[in-house]
Structure 1
Amino acid sequence: MIRVYENEDITKYYIEFRPKYQDCVVEEVLRFCNENRASKTDENRQQVMVDVACGSGQATTPFQKHFENIIGVDVSPNQIKEARLANDFENISYKVGTAEEIPVESGSVDLLISATACHRFDFAKFFKEAKRVLKPDGCMALFSYAPRVTPMNVVDPIIREELADKATNLLLKYHRNPTDEQSNIYCFGKYQDIYKKVPAKNKKWIKDGLVMKYDWSLSQLLGYLRSNAAYQEYMKMMKEKNKDASEDEVKKWDRALMLRDFIKREWKMKGVNDDNVMMRADFSVFLVLANKLTV
């Protein structure tokens, strides 16, 4: 497992600016689970769910009302600390652990999920571990998303979409991780390659149709970008290459500031406070669903 999102700076950005998964995703995952459960006695509430690489709980808490017990697992003690501080539910708990060594009993899990993370796993070890912890009819859901940002201050629909394309393309460019090309391939391919890898008798790939919608400010978008490993890895790499760079020099290659300046210029919002530059942030979710692992 490639280890990122562990230091305190990135975990602070992560819990504040990462979007929580919405009901449309939860419903799609549970639909697959209910269709493949051996027992249909209570389709509204199952027993145990585990969220692997849970971060600070963005995908954990949306499932809260559907399970008797939910365990979030993450390799980062800082992420687990933030998740615990933000947790308001008695049926959710958090543990430090990895995708390759999940700290739960064998054959105890109804649903195993991982959101915005599995592209960094050691799949050979993870799939074996997933099979170990899942019940015979247990399901696995691996998912992530791709963002799109659209200005709210532009009335003309053609111009608005053109500006959305430009800003989104730059944002996606900054999503590319300079030190982890394999993760880039998985994410930009909407997990198709991961779907092909999953050893299961029953599996499903959903690449279109699920969109989470948010009204965001430019400040929120920049916080979201700073919460990404690609941004953090790039900044780390550039600072190591330019150890004596001044603050003004750093600003010239800080991707968050470059994105901010681009959006304000293109959207004709120069001089407007970042909190007042409003946009629609759409996150297209892609999922890999599996049942009866065969590894």
Structure 2
Amino acid sequence: MTHRLYEGKAHAATYWKYRISPSDHLMQQVLDFLQKQGGEFELAVDVGCGSGQGTLLLAKHFASVVGTDVSPAQLELALQHAHKPNITYSRQCVAEELPFTDSSVDLVTAMSAFHWFDRPRFLQEVHRVLKPRGCLALLNYTLNMELSSSDGCSDALNHICREFYAALRPFRSPLLGQSSIEMYREAFELIPYPEKEWHGCVLNTQLMPLSSYMGLVESFSCYQALLKQDPQRAHKLSQDICQRLMSVMKVSSAETEVMVDVKYFYLLACKPEEA
């Protein structure tokens, strides 16, 4: 069964404010794969949609998009930002029991969510709901994001970032193992479809305020676990890291923008015509 996280209203609000979405270029790779396989663009389902950032991207390309999640708080927030008529977020459900008929969905996506699912059951459910020539896209990014600055202080910034990640590593969920990328590799090998692709490292660079970078890291499950266990320690760690980064950048405001390099990995798979 899906491991339930990110369900509180406060965390949902943080998720919407700071979580990033795949780039247009990365989403185009997904769409190109679907088109190459002869798939249609009628119905896309975004599983574990959270507050809906990825779902909004899909809405540009499909006649209908449905976001599903186990969290009412996340879905409530997603609905507040669903300004396109072809988006529906009315499907509160676990990932392994999707409310769609057999062979009815053109594209199933899970963006930074698959690692929380009961993965074998989810893949079976995806096989059930996908149309022949329908596709699955599983996307995620790694925690080890890097900062870059035009004034030559990138090495110093990333030394501090690595200390931040190291401090959070003990609070990483045991469900994720040593590296979530290995989970996705394993899933890629288990999917029996002949048409599938693995992409191990796609760099997505985004300009954002330093405060948004801090908020992004704070939205991760490892920081949230520390926050739940010891709020004072969590806040002190975050404040110290932010102050050190500002000191290296020689700025006084956390609203100063910085380039953040995010490392994505993803897999694509197409259900055969005769499956």
Q: When the two structures are superposed, what TM-score results if normalisation uses the length of structure 2?
A: 0.89
Contact 2:37 2:270 in 1 (8 A): yes
Shift in alpha-carbon separation, 1:26–1:253, aligned structure 2, 3 A: closer
Are 1:274 and 2:254 matched, yes or no?
Answer: yes
The Cα of 1:255 is off from its aligned counterpart by 3.5
Name the aligned partner's letter for residue 267 of structure 1: M
- The counterpart of 1:205, out of the listed 170, 178, 198, is 198
Are 1:149 and 2:146 matched, yes or no?
Answer: yes
State the superposition RMSD in angstroms: 2.4
Q: Give the count of matched residue pairs.
A: 271
> Which region of structure 1 is more displaced relative to structure 2, 210-219 or 113-122?
210-219
Q: When the two structures are superposed, what TM-score results if normalisation uses the length of structure 1?
A: 0.83
Aligned-partner Cα distance in 2 for 1:252–1:24? 35
Percent identical pairs in the alignment equals: 27
Deviations 1:178-218 (A, max 9, x none): 2523425343548323322333332211012x332221112
Are 1:260 and 2:235 matched, yes or no?
Answer: no
The Cα of 1:174 is off from its aligned counterpart by 5.4
Unaligned stretches of 5+ residues in structure 2: none
Aligned-partner Cα distance in 1 for 2:46–2:76? 15
Contact 1:22 1:62 in 2 (8 A): no
The Cα of 1:168 is off from its aligned counterpart by 3.6
The Cα of 1:79 is off from its aligned counterpart by 0.3
Contact 1:52 1:72 in 2 (8 A): yes
Deviations 1:117-145 (A, max 9, x none): 10111012101111111001111000111
Are 1:290 and 2:269 matched, yes or no?
Answer: yes
Name the structure 1 match of 2:67. Answer: 72
Contact 2:51 2:78 in 1 (8 A): yes
Contact 2:21 2:54 in 1 (8 A): yes
Deviations 1:9-58 (A, max 9, x none): 110100011112221111111111112126xxxxxx71000000000112
> Which region of structure 1 is more displaced relative to structure 2, 255-264 or 220-229?
255-264
Name the structure 2 match of 1:81. Answer: 76
The Cα of 1:171 is off from its aligned counterpart by 4.4
Are 1:180 and 2:173 matched, yes or no?
Answer: yes
Unaligned stretches of 5+ residues in structure 1: 39-44, 240-249
The structure having more radius of gyration, on CA atoms, is 1
The Cα of 1:263 is off from its aligned counterpart by 1.5
Contact 1:235 1:254 in 2 (8 A): no
Aligned-partner Cα distance in 1 for 2:234–2:101? 50
Name the structure 2 match of 1:23. Answer: 24
Name the structure 2 match of 1:163. Answer: 156
Shift in alpha-carbon separation, 1:222–1:93, aligned structure 2, 3 A: same
Aligned-partner Cα distance in 2 for 1:189–1:177? 18
Deviations 1:239-277 (A, max 9, x none): 5xxxxxxxxxx15764322321332344344xx12113x
